[in-house]
Amino acid sequence: MSFDLSRIRFDAHRDFLGVVMQQGRVQLDADWNEWVAQLARRLQAGSLDGFGGNVVPRITPDGFRIQASGGKLNIGAGRMYVDGLLAENHGAAPLAWEPRLAGLAGSAPLDYAAQPYYPDPPALPEGGPHLVYLDVWQREVDAVLAPDLVEKAVGVDTTGRLQTVWQVKVLAGIGDGTCATPDAELPGWLAATAPSAARLSTATGVPDFEPDPCQVPPAAGYRGLENQLYRVEVHRGGPLGTATFKWSRDNTTVASRVTHINPARDRITVESLGRDQVLRFHDGDWVEVSDDWRELHNLPGELRRIRVAGGVDETARTLQFDLALPAGLFPTDAQQATDAARNTRVRRWDQAGPVRREDGSQLLDLNAPAAAGDIPIPAAGTRLFLESGILVDFALAPAGGQFHSGDHWVFAARTVDASIELLDQAPPLGIHHHYARLAVVDFPDGETDCRVLWPPIAEGEGCDCSVCVSAEGHNSGAATIQQAIDSIKDSGGTVCLGIGTYNLREPLNVDGARSLRIRGQGWATLLVAGQPGTVLNIEASIGVALENLSLLGSTNRETPAILARNTLDLRAEHINVICLAVGDGTSAAIGLAGYALGAYVGDCALVAERGIVRAGEYLLGAELQVARNLFICSQRALSFDGVSLHYGNTRVAGNLMLGGNQAALVATGAVLPGAVFDIDGNVIHTGGAGIRAGVDGLRIRANEISGLDQRSGDGIVLEEGLDPLALDGLRIEGNRLARLQGNAILVRQRVENAVITGNTFDAIGLGALVMGEGGAAGVLAFSGNRCQGLGLAASGAYAAIQLVRVDQADLCDNQLAELARQATDLAALDAIRTAAVQRLRISGNRLLGIGPDRSGAEITGIHLLPPFDRALVQANRVERLGDDPAQKPLMSQWRAIRVASAAAGSPLYASPAQVVEGAQLSYLFTASQVFALAPRAADLAIQDNQLRSHASSLPLVLCAALDNCLFAGNRCQALDGNDQQPQLGALQGRTLNASNNRLIGREKLDTLHLSTQLERAIVIGNASSGNIRVLSGATVPNDINLCNLIGV
């Protein structure tokens, strides 16, 4: 409805603060109504500025909460602020006392079909997803709509009311839309919420087609004889050519309630015909019949003309129409009484007779029998006369928009100066709708809450937020994250982010901050970069913490989503980062540059090509910790390469690393003296190498490293870092490596001191420990390791353990089982192979199941290449067969121990390392280097071993070019071999001692042949199935049968 006003004066652009009464002055309704408008705008703007968007106060946390159940919707009781307007759902029965507001309020949710301002809402759709949203606006309520506004003692209405109306509506079929989907990407949203594009301009003109000497002269402008407040209102909405309008000279204040409608629906009974002879209904007037149902459904009423002759019955208070009202539109009871709850009413409009354009041509005649009562809105630029010289001109902005039913404008006309209020492309005064998303529902029972609670602190997190930022406030620019950071970064504090999607037009910058925390709500707090590049820059800051938030970004260069440069006590906890690569760029989740002292990254999920990286020219880290994170990274999870320096305790522990087609973890910088780099308890599933490291003080402990597929590489690679000479202080212990296509451990750099112990290697494509190109060691201990199923991808020549250029090596208490069992195309195979190892101890190892059942290659359990100083092979068990009862070995070239230089033309091994004897020096050849080896008097002891061959054409043991050889306490057995002699051993050296051995060959074939340069060999205490012969001399004692048992 509308109010009986003199004019509407409020103009926000004039910034008036209030209305001041002056003494002895006449009071006008316009002054006090302007004050009310000022106050209302102040309240709305203050709420909007304070909340930064649409919010539900936490004091009523269920306000407009949507619950889907059994295909129905329930609307939670409480309040919500929509664009600063307060909408309140008072709830359903039972009523309960609200002491804070001192009133009764419903304590139960309201059913969708029982909304107070949405009678008979549309039926709910099925399935989903659908968006449930809130529509809020204000409407004018006068005594016609609310008769109780009339004070009975006075008998006339004195004031009207503004009412806030809300409706919960459903936008069906939003596809993949979510609460955070931008407006432009949500199907149907812009069409459902588009504001009116209507614009109106007013002017005065000279109606030359109305010559009347009694009228005010045309030059005066407004030709009326009374002061008026004109109202122009869109009747039927739509585009140009469809939309229509109507107008009133009294702001449609001639109105009345309708009490009865006759059965023929062409006569209505009203409560009042008017207040006087002017402000009343007359014969021939155009009137509009409507009710609350139509108004709240945004539908216009029915326009009808009162019959020209006898249309108004003063006695019966009835209005007779030329045309009946549609059936069923305005319900009545058996006595033809209207439904009082629907407030059926009628109001007068003043358009009548011919409607003319500015040039005098007629647009239509409203007195014609076929006239509908409304006026078509003509094309923009066509001005129409209303009356008394008043011209109106409609337009759309933007072009292509639509008029909305109910759009209206008012302007005053004054006789004192023949003027009217001039409007220039003015938007409507109303109706202005405001919208808020409530939930995404999937019927019958699923819903996702879209509401934002205020204040936006996390539930259960306490009250330690210095600044709170909501997604709506940030996205609107009213209260952004950057503004919050800048406001407290110098003094310190906490920026709390609510649930929602925060669209970042440019990166967030934290520069020079002190004790700053940015905290969100986990996955539900999402920061989305609007362009490729860094999402968050942190520089020259102390005590910055990132907690419980998610970031989504992309990069077209090598820029991380989070870049921290020159930071102290940086903490990132429970954050989720997804960074995508664009074009040729390499994406990274977190980049550390400059110095990073006391940095901690924990309990995070990082999805990018690279997880945590050195960014920039260098990284100096101290007490850096990376713990309990999830890395899903296609290239590297952790990459500290290049100039990466670490001090104190650097710890990478408890992480899950997936992907890594280059390497899951790369640490090839350097640690400062006394520092430790600890890689502990990580689970690594890699498509490339597991760990590539090149730093001192390295501790690799209790990690699970396995290959993802056939593309996986080596498990642990020791390579050159910033120190080109050697690695030192290395310990690899308690790790489990499985299903890798390369080596379990590959050494490509000299290691001064290394301990490799207690590891398990299972289903490895190549070797357990292999020194490749550049590999060497000072002191190396490889002990207590369990190696099972090695050589799954072996081909050509192969070694399970290969040591090259080692000063001192201990291989103790290891188990190597099932080596290259399916490799039928091998050129050569060694379980253990050493070259240029000065001092060597091989003790307590179990070598079982060495080589395939069928092979033409030479297969050796332990293969030592001279020269060396001293080698001890003690208490080992070396057997061709393992624990597999299905093994059926065929005749092959298999031996347990070989100590001899490689024969000319022998095949290269997997990591080439060959020793070639020269006239004075020996030479070690690798793939790209040659090392001269000084001659050494090789001292070898083979003691207390258990050696067994099956179906072999070679002696079990071959030792040549030795200075001294002790072969004692061994148990040697050859089964199913051929008749080649010796069966068990061929020993050659300057001095030989074969003592206390148990030698078991086939039948009575020779078991042991000795060749000594001194022509004497000690042979004592042996028990042999065949003869023991000294080929180049005699035994000591002379009678071999005196001190040995032969033929047993």
pLDDT averaged per 10 residues, the chain (length 1048): 88 92 92 93 92 89 94 96 96 92 93 97 95 97 94 92 97 93 94 96 85 53 93 96 96 96 97 94 97 96 96 96 95 96 97 95 94 95 95 94 96 95 96 96 93 66 76 83 91 93 94 95 92 95 96 87 97 96 90 97 96 94 97 95 95 94 94 95 95 96 91 93 93 96 96 97 95 94 96 90 95 96 87 94 96 89 93 96 83 91 60 67 74 84 95 91 93 85 90 94 89 85 92 78 87
Which residue, 853, 696, 829, is CA-closest to 767?
A: 829
- Give pLDDT, residue 905: 59
Q: 132 with 446: CB under 8 angstroms? A: no
* Residue 927 CB neighbours (<10 A): 11
Helix, strand, coil % in the chain, rounded to nearest 5: 5, 50, 45
The encoded tokens of residue 534 equal 């860094």
The answer for residues whose C-beta is within 8 angstroms of residue 728's C-beta and 6 or more apart is 696, 697, 751, 752, 753
Which residue, 845, 844, 827, 838, is CA-closest to 864?
A: 838
Q: 463 with 488: CB under 8 angstroms? A: no
Helix or strand run (H / E) with residue 230? strand 228-234
Which residues is 614 bridged to in the sheet?
592
Helix/strand/coil (H/E/C) assignment for every residue in 133-175: EEEEEEEEECCCCCHHHCCCCCCCCCCCEEEEEEEEEEECCCC
Sign of CA dihedral 718, 721, 727, 728: negative
Buried b (16+ CB within 10 A) or exposed e, 621-653: bbbbbbbebbbbbbbbbbbbbbebbbbbbbbbb
- Give pLDDT, residue 210: 63
- Give pLDDT, residue 870: 96
Q: 339 with 119: CB under 8 angstroms? A: no
Q: 380 with 392: CB under 8 angstroms? A: no
What distance in Å separates the CA atoms of residue 987 and residue 1012, rounded to the nearest whole number? 8
- Give pLDDT, residue 423: 96
The encoded tokens of residue 217 equal 């002269």
The answer for residues whose C-beta is within 8 angstroms of residue 19's C-beta and 6 or more apart is 31, 32, 34, 35, 38
Q: 712 with 741: CB under 8 angstroms? A: yes
- Give pLDDT, residue 801: 96
Which residue, 591, 458, 437, 470, is CA-closest to 65?
A: 437
Identity at 371, one-letter amino acid code: A
354: left (phi over 0), alpha (psi -120 to 50) or beta: beta
The encoded tokens of residue 165 equal 């109306």
Q: Edge-to-edge strands of the sheet including 66-69?
A: 66-69, 72-75, 110-111
Q: Edge-to-edge strands of the sheet including 446-449?
A: 161-171, 130-141, 434-442, 446-449
- Give pLDDT, residue 459: 39
Which residue, 276, 430, 253, 235, is CA-closest to 347?
A: 253
User: Is-above-0.75 flag for pTM?
Assistant: no
The encoded tokens of residue 467 equal 């600044």
Which residue, 1022, 1021, 976, is CA-closest to 1003?
A: 976
Sign of CA dihedral 171, 176, 180, 181: negative
Which residue spans within 844-938 are E strands per DSSP?
846-850, 858-865, 870-874, 877-879, 893-899, 914-917, 922-925, 930-933
Domain positions in the chain are 12-51, 56-195+433-449, 198-420, 950-1046
- Give pLDDT, residue 585: 83
Q: 565 with 594: CB under 8 angstroms? A: yes
